[in-house]
């Protein structure tokens, strides 16, 4: 079997989706299959649309037995404007190819139609144009296509996030897939309610590599950054929708009240967040703002943390929550369906309304002041984290590739 994976960014970019697809590809290689990855040169998220941000070189290379083909993004302004006009046409194929947040990757269409694939994998939303290209190539070759959409639905009663993930043309893309792999039952129910056939929806989810999440040296991080108090940790992308601004505003309230707790934010950031921090105009001695990190550092961050705050409204699962729980650390998440499902039902933390820095400040203070509460929640979360062992779940995802190809051959 030859599996072709189509996604916007890939290794060495380190995101939960990208890391998981790398792990699933390794599983397929380990079973004797071939894997080819088609991706772009983007490293920074903004590089998908704007020149001048971090990118990787164009080219083809081998990674753990997989062939990775990295194609350049076109930033031609005239072409972009013309395709945006095409995206205004109320026809799902044009919407999928040309409407926001689409970007043009010259040569991708031809390369996908030429390759001898047995199955295509596409995702995540909202990168509709890449998903469409993968589906079109699969249809042209008469082979199945699997999607892992990682759809985000945002906070209750607010469509600001969901409208970027479940527009009619995006649902039509999912309807055209042979299998749609969902992170949670929450995502599966939402997609089914919008018209994706239930028999195509399979709930597996992604997991964490426990070896890369636990066993860190918290004291090493404390010594390196001269940390002498409790630590609130925020891992991953720093952006408004990730709750990063809300968290910083909440910590400002704690510091104004005399709290000696530290805030560590580690991971890449969007330009808007960098501008927000730069505009603060004050020195915050208990704030550590760090860029993307290595696995060993992540273990140390988690070991050093007293709690992990990820008040994000753009999650389909939340692997950072699982990594926190694997370390028996309590979490604070935003009150969105998937986080409420995981956090409240497990007892591994609390949820707060997205964007409510006052409420977040109260929860942070209460949790920092109560070591017994942190222990109880961290222990409860640790039990849930056992269900998200990546080495098990990645194999189950790989099973889906073999099932859809085997089903087509049997049919």
**pLDDT value at 409 more than 60:** no
How far apart, in whole angstroms, are the C-alpha atoms of residue 295 and residue 214? 10
Mean pLDDT, the chain, whole residue set = 96
- What are the distances in angstroms from CA 91 to CA 86, 88, 97, 108, 404? 9, 8, 10, 22, 29
Taking only the tens place, the pLDDT of each residue in 194-217 is 999 999 999 999 999 999 999 999
CB 254, CB 364: distance < 8 Å: yes
Range 259-285 average pLDDT: 96
Could you tell me which residues are beta bridge partners of residue 145? Answer: 120
Give the model's pLDDT for residue 410: 55
The average pLDDT across 284-297 equals 92
Residue 345 is predicted with a pLDDT of 87
Domain extents for the chain? 2-207+390-406, 211-387
Instruction: Work out the angle between the directed axes of helices 244-256 and 271-278 (0-180°, nearest 10).
Output: 20
Query: Hey, do 2-207+390-406 and 211-387 end up sharing a CATH topology, with the first three levels equal?
Result: yes
Q: Under DSSP, is residue 34 helix (H, G, I), strand (E, B) or coil? A: strand
Q: Is the pLDDT reported for residue 407 higher than 80?
A: no
- How long, in residues, is the chain? 411
- Give the CATH H-level superfamily of domain 2-207+390-406: Glycogen Phosphorylase B; (3.40.50.2000)
Number of Cβ within a 10 Å radius of residue 271: 13
The predicted pLDDT at position 85 comes to 81
Which among 326, 278, 277 has a CA at the least distance from the CA of 303? 326
Give me the helices (H) in 183-284, please.
185-193, 218-225, 244-256, 271-278
Q: Please, are residues 212 and 299 in contact by the beta-carbon 8 Å criterion?
A: yes
Q: Count Cβ atoms within 10 A of the Cβ of residue 326 and give its class: 0-12 exposed, 13-18 middle, 19 or more buried.
A: buried
- 8-state DSSP, 340: I
Q: Look at the domain 211-387 and name its fold.
A: Rossmann fold (3.40.50)
Mean pLDDT of all residues in 287-304: 94
Please compute, for residue 298, the number of CA atoms within 13 A of its CA located in the half-sphere on the CB side.
21
Express each pLDDT in 345-365 by its tens digit: 899 999 999 999 999 999 999
- Give 172-191 pLDDT, tens digit per residue: 999 999 999 999 999 999 99
Contacts of 110 (CB under 8 A, 6+ apart): none
């Amino acid at each position: 079997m030859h599996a072709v994976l189509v996604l916007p960014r890939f290794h060495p970019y380190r995101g939960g989706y990208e890391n998981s697809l790398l792990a699933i590809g390794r599983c397929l290689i380990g079973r004797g299959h071939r894997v080819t990855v088609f991706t772009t040169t983007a490293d920074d998220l903004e590089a998908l649309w704007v020149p001048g941000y971090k990118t990787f070189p164009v080219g083809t290379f081998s990674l753990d037995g997989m062939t990775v083909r990295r194609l350049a993004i076109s930033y031609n302004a005239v072409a972009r404007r013309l395709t945006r006009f095409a995206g205004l046409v109320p026809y799902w194929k044009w919407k999928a190819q040309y409407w926001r947040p689409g970007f043009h990757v010259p040569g991708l269409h031809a390369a996908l139609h030429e390759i001898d694939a047995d199955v295509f994998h596409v995702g995540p939303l909202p990168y509709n144009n890449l998903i469409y290209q993968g589906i079109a190539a699969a249809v042209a070759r008469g082979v199945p296509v699997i999607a892992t959409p990682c759809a985000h639905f945002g906070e209750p009663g607010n469509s600001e996030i969901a409208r970027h993930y479940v527009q009619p043309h995006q649902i039509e893309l999912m309807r055209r897939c042979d299998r749609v792999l969902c992170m949670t039952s929450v995502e599966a129910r939402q997609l089914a309610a919008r018209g994706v056939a239930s028999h195509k929806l399979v709930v597996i989810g992604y997991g964490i590599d426990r070896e890369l999440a636990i066993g860190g040296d918290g004291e090493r991080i404390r010594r390196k950054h001269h940390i002498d108090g409790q630590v609130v940790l925020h891992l991953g992308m720093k952006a408004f929708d990730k709750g990063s601004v809300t968290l910083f505003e909440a910590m400002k309230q704690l510091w104004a009240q005399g709290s000696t707790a530290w805030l560590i934010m580690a991971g890449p950031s969007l330009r808007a967040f960098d501008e927000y921090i730069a505009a603060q105009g004050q020195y915050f001695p208990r704030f550590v703002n760090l860029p993307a990190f290595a696995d060993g550092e992540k273990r140390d961050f988690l070991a050093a943390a007293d709690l992990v705050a990820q008040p994000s409204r753009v999650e389909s699962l939340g692997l950072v929550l699982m990594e926190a729980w694997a370390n028996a650390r309590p979490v604070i998440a935003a009150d969105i369906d998937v986080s409420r499902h995981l956090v409240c039902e497990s007892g591994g933390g609390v949820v707060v309304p997205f964007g409510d820095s006052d409420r977040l400040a109260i929860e942070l203070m209460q949790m920092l002041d109560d070591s017994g509460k942190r222990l109880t929640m961290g222990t409860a979360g640790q039990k849930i984290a056992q269900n998200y062992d990546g080495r098990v779940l990645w194999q189950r995802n790989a099973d889906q590739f073999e099932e859809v190809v085997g089903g087509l051959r049997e049919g």
